[in-house]
Copies of this chain bind each other. A is one copy, B any other.
Amino acid sequence: MIRWNNDYNHGAHPAILQAFADTNDSSYEGYGLDEWCRKAAGEIRKHLGGVDADIHFMLGGTQVNYTMIAAALRPYQGIICADSGHIQVHETGAVENTGHKIHVVPGVDGKITAAAVEKEAESYRTSDVPEHVTQPKMVFLSFPSEYGTIYTKEELSGISWVCREYGLYLMVDGARMGYGLGAEGNDVTLADIAAAADIFYIGGTKCGAMMGEAVVIVNEELKDHFRNYMKQNGGLLAKGWVLGLQFYTLFKDGTYFAITEQADRYAMQIRQAFAEKGIPSYIESPTNQQFVLLTEEQKEKLAKNHIFENQFWTEDGRFCVRFCTSWSTKEEEVETLLRDIREL
């Protein structure tokens, strides 16, 4: 059985295991104050277009998201998020647990739009009763989105522009950042994200690391005492260097970008195979997550050799399922899947 159900079902890129072995006899400072975290931050900064960012290493997207939000907002402020945003739908109310309201707006293809942000912000700006409502002060988006779609550079700068107009922080969840950057047709770079966002993170857990995410803080206002927020929220790890070491390993020679781009290419082959078979996508994703609509028969046939994730049933009786490639996907696995799709 081959697992396509998600992009976090394998351990780590071999270079990471090698780095663990190479450093296992050495000792390091605790709590992220070590040389690997410094070197990893240095490698990441090379991609940020000269922005003077603070970089911290944490672990797990949910933790990163709510910690960034808790650090940025005052109790009467909230965060704008598309109805499909991860913080709204799949984090067990972690944001509300920190005391903040999510202002939910309709998404388009899994993405938030500048227009929706503007409407929500304008609604607050012109409110007759601003003391009776929460102030939207931050905008959440995922790059790529939870449905694998990506923002164009123009879309991103449009959202960023609205944020600056209304004094909103822009926060980017980059759990799958590599798969977004490596997508065919993508015109967004890490430097573009650093220019557009006030705070964002680059996911490692789903992109080749064993575990870990890199938080990048661009806006000075959000840098203050961030390590206290990390500690308070369980994210200042005693062995922080283990995270720094992984990011250094993935970034020092471009491995992070190469392995995720390869996963995207595999995903495009799979998408094409489904399309050639006349099997529709639920959404057109250029990244490693593919959402396709299968009949029950097709689903059962594929389930013989493959594990994939059920999303929901459509009204016409088909199943929306997710196939993920990842940095760990092997060519022979793709071949097997392509063959099985063709034989449907």
In the bound complex, CA of A93 to CA of B73 (Å): 13
- Distance from A300 Cβ to chain B, minimum over Cβ atoms (Å): 18
B23→A11 contact, CB < 8 A: yes
Interface presence of A239 (CB below 8 A): yes
In the bound complex, CA of A125 to CA of B129 (Å): 37
In the bound complex, CA of A23 to CA of B78 (Å): 39
Interface presence of A171 (CB below 8 A): no
Interface presence of A205 (CB below 8 A): yes
- Distance from A290 Cβ to chain B, minimum over Cβ atoms (Å): 18
Contacts of A59 in B (CB 8 A): 59, 237
- Distance from A216 Cβ to chain B, minimum over Cβ atoms (Å): 18
- Distance from A254 Cβ to chain B, minimum over Cβ atoms (Å): 21
List the number of copies, as a whole number: 4
Contacts of A96 in B (CB 8 A): 78, 96, 99-102, 134
Interface presence of A42 (CB below 8 A): no
Interface presence of A238 (CB below 8 A): yes
Flag A93-120 by CB within 8 Å of B: 1 or 0 each.
Answer: 1101111111010000000000000000
Contacts of A236 in B (CB 8 A): 62, 131-132
Contacts of A297 in B (CB 8 A): none
